[in-house]
Structure 1
Amino acid sequence: MSGPSPDAPTIGVDIGGTKVSAGVVAHDGTILDRARQVTPHRSTAPSVVEDAIVAVIAELMQRRPDGEAPVAGVGIGAAGFVSADGSTVVFAPHLSWRDEPLRASVSERVRLPIIVENDANAALWAEHRLGAARSTSHAVMITLGTGIGGGLLVDGSLIRGRYGIAGEFGHMQVVPAGLRCECGNRGCWEQYSSGNALVREARSLVTAQSPMASDLLARVGGDPAQLTGPMITGAAKAGEPTSVELLAEIGTWLGVGMANLAAAFDPEVFVVGGGVSAAGDLLLDPAREAFARHLTGRGYRPQADLVVAELGADAGMIGAALLARDGAAAQPGAGS
């Protein structure tokens, strides 16, 4: 039996809190085609997100040119706890999935080999293979979006843990009895350093009619509900002082959390991705300062680099596709 062609592309699917993005990805990481579906935030029906996944895969498959190599498989990066065998999304704090058999459900509908991976693990794999972590075997990925995702690379391998849930750094408690998190606990890291935290703090200032927020209020026509992370980041890049201050606060908490992770895992590099990372040094400079200030043994140990993901918002998609390629290559008869 012959396996997939070495040049066969795979499809990578990246599931966020509000959208499903997908792409046909070549063996070298080049994205050949893209599709996207918007999904309701925290939909009560898991089938809604599943339908969106199937729709983007079908759209990409329908657009494949005649004569091109067939797609070898699909990798799905899910924002949640993925079981160790890659079959089930056990829990997704920002979606309604609970013990969702995603691999079987999607495979049955698209008739292609499917792998399911945590989205931050997928992003880290892409950065390790092709991006900011390609020169190291020990790295931590932090994805700042709706919440915080995380991935861990040790000796060149993804560390998933016994039950597949390693790397959920966003749900480390950093403030005892702190803000309530969607996971059910209080004081989780992502409540202080994430896109949600950034927007929450901006809206709080606007709602309180703080003079500091007058420019932000004007930008959204007086409606705090219109404040978004990208808008705040854009305002900060334009020099709006309150937005700069808000991003610096998010960055400071980011650095505190990474110092804790350095004490646990001692990586060579932290790669920061996700939508909030678009703020660049407005986020990372405060993070670097806080990291250096809180690092255990500071001054007497090598210090990890803090860098922005080179593949940007595409890292999760590309990584999922690369993992699907690895899975397809491991099938019986592959490459023969």
Structure 2
Amino acid sequence: MVADTWFGQALTVGVDIGGSKVSAGVVTPQGRILARVRTETPHRSKSPEVVEETVAGVVEEFRSAHPVRAVGVGAAGFVDEHRATVLFAPHLSWRGEPLKDALTVRLGLPVVVENDANAAAWAEAGVGAAQGSDDVVVVNLGTGIGGAVVLGGALHRGRYGMAGEFGHMTVVPGGHRCECGNRGCWEQYASGNALAREARSLVAAESPVAGALTEAVGGDPALISGALVGELAAKGDRACVELMEDAGEWLGSGLADLAAAFDPEVFVIGGGVSENGDLLLGPARTAFERRLTGRGYRPAARVVPAALGNEAGIVGAADLAREGLPRWRQGRRQRRLSSYRRR
């Protein structure tokens, strides 16, 4: 008979659901991933049933080789306060989707559903870039901006489970239209989409400073992405460096607002855009320090890049799933990752 733990410790699966892929791993309490898989879901992945089938298949594959005790799922969207239902997922056709119940029936295992940014933040605060800090704000820069807050060593989900949607703070009243329906949202100025939009406008206007961009896409602005802007900025193209600086200034300005609200010890910046390093974070730190309320008379939070990359959502979701296991809710095991981060 196979033991139900890995060297006496419960194993759980963490699943990170994106618009076109499902990434998952078997995770130990220390945050070590023993096995992992990434599955590209079919085009009809926007269907809840197809995503559920994909997740169930991945978990069953893991169970054939590992004694899995529970499953944590990180989903990009609004997850209710019971961590059971995806109320709204902008990149999937999920509206009030009872994901926890559906997966529990399929798998016969305890399931926890969490916002993907919350899951990533929990991992970064426990075993990642913010180890040793109990007050952390994580900002994920990708197509848009996601975020999460850890206060006093616990996730701050808000009354209805929707805290951390920083990308939709209005920073420019009447500004650029956002997919959420509002105007002037933060993610319209400091995200990958924002970088791409500004670069496209330079090429479309036939700006003399956009030569490298124009050449890279053969004159077609529609082919420009935020990643391309980052690549050219890393090679020293002045126009792209300036676009990165602009995004960094917007990022730092927003962080100053978040510092006024939450007063964290650390800001962790993750997501694909953060991979541009100091091209982005340098201007962000400068703008943050310039805009910080009470600057010069208060400690300033550190602004650091995320450490776990694409593994953060998997590790965090797996650990959050472990909360529901009875023998892990007692004594020093109550805050598993927090205990490991101080070792």
TM-score (norm 1): 0.89
- Distance in 1 (CA, whole Å) between partners of 2:228 and 2:44 is 22
Q: Quote the offset at 1:74 in angstroms.
A: 1.2
Cα distance in 1 between the residues matched to 2:202 and 2:62: 43
8 Å Cα contact 1:255-1:288 kept in structure 2: yes
Query: Take 2:185 and 2:273, find their aligned partners in 1: how far apart are those partners?
Result: 18
Structure 2: which amino acid aligns with 1:21? S
**CA RMSD for the aligned pairs?**
2.4
Aligned-partner SS, 2:147: strand
Distance 1:278 1:291 in 2: 19
Q: Are 1:134 and 2:136 an aligned pair?
A: no
Distance 1:213 1:48 in 2: 42
Distance 2:263 2:174 in 1: 28
* Distance in 1 between residues matched to 2:82 and 2:134, nearest whole Å: 23
Partner of 2:273: 276
1:182 to 1:122, Cα distance in 2 relative to 1, 3 A:
same
Tell me if 1:234 matches 2:231: yes
Per-residue deviation at 1:39?
Answer: 4.6
Q: Does 1:118 align with 2:115?
A: yes
* Distance in 2 of aligned mates of 1:246 and 1:272: 18
Question: Hey, what does 1:82 align to over in structure 2?
Answer: 79
What is the distance in 2 between the residues matched to 1:230 and 1:143? Answer: 15
Q: Is it true that 1:161 corresponds to 2:143 in the alignment?
A: no
Unaligned runs of 5+ in 2: 334-343
CA 171–207 in structure 1, closer or farther in 2 if over 3 Å, else same:
same
Deviation of 1:330 after TM superposition, in Å, equals 5.7
1:50 is matched with which residue?
Answer: 52
After superposition, the Cα gap between the structure-2 partners of 1:219 and 1:156, relative to the gap in structure 1 and judged at 3 Å, is same
- Tell me, what secondary structure is at the counterpart of 1:293? helix
| Gap change, CA 1:214 and 1:46, over 3 Å in 2 | farther
Per-residue deviation, 1:43: 6.3
Is the contact made by 1:235 and 1:243 (CA closer than 8 Å) also made in structure 2? yes
| Deviation sequence 1:62-103 (CA, Å, 0-9, x none) | 5x2xxxx41111111111111000011111233332111111
Q: Distance in 2 between matches of 1:161 and 1:298?
A: 28
Q: Using the alignment, how far apart are the partners of 1:57 and 1:101 within structure 2? A: 18
Secondary structure of the equivalent of 2:31?
coil
- Name the structure 2 match of 1:183: 180
Structure-2 change in CA distance of 1:216 and 1:135 (3 Å): same
Secondary structure of 2:245's aligned partner: helix
After TM superposition, which residue ranges in structure 1, 4 or more long, deviate above 6 angstroms?
40-43
Q: CA deviation at 1:148?
A: 1.0
1:232 and 1:158, CA in 2 relative to 1: closer, same or farther beyond 3 A? Answer: same
Give ranges in structure 1 of 5+ residues lacking alignment.
Answer: none
After the TM superposition, which residues 236-275 of structure 1 pair with which residues of structure 2 at under 5 Å, given as runs?
236-275=233-272
Alpha-carbon distance change, 29 to 283 in structure 1, aligned in 2, over 3 angstroms: same
Query: The residue matched to 2:323 in structure 1 has which SS?
Result: helix
Contact map agreement 2:19 2:45 (CA 8 A) in 1: no
The aligned length equals 327
C-alpha distance in structure 2 between counterparts of 1:90 and 1:77, whole Å: 13
Normalising by the residue count of structure 2, what TM-score does the alignment of the two structures yield?
A: 0.87
In structure 1, C-alpha distance between the alignment counterparts of 2:200 and 2:45, rounded to whole Å: 23
CA distance in 2, matches of 1:330, 1:178: 51
89 and 61 in structure 1: CA distance in 2 versus 1, 3 angstrom threshold: same
d(CA) in 2 for partners of 1:174, 1:196: 16
Cα shift readout 1:24-45 (whole Å, capped 9, x = no counterpart) = 2222212222222335789653
User: What SS does the corresponding residue of 1:175 show, helix, strand or coil?
Assistant: coil
Shift of 1:329: 4.5
2:9 to 4, 7, 10: 7
CA contact (8 A) 1:273 1:313 kept: no
Residue aligning to 1:207: 204
Deviation at 1:292, TM superposition (A): 1.0
2:338 is aligned to none
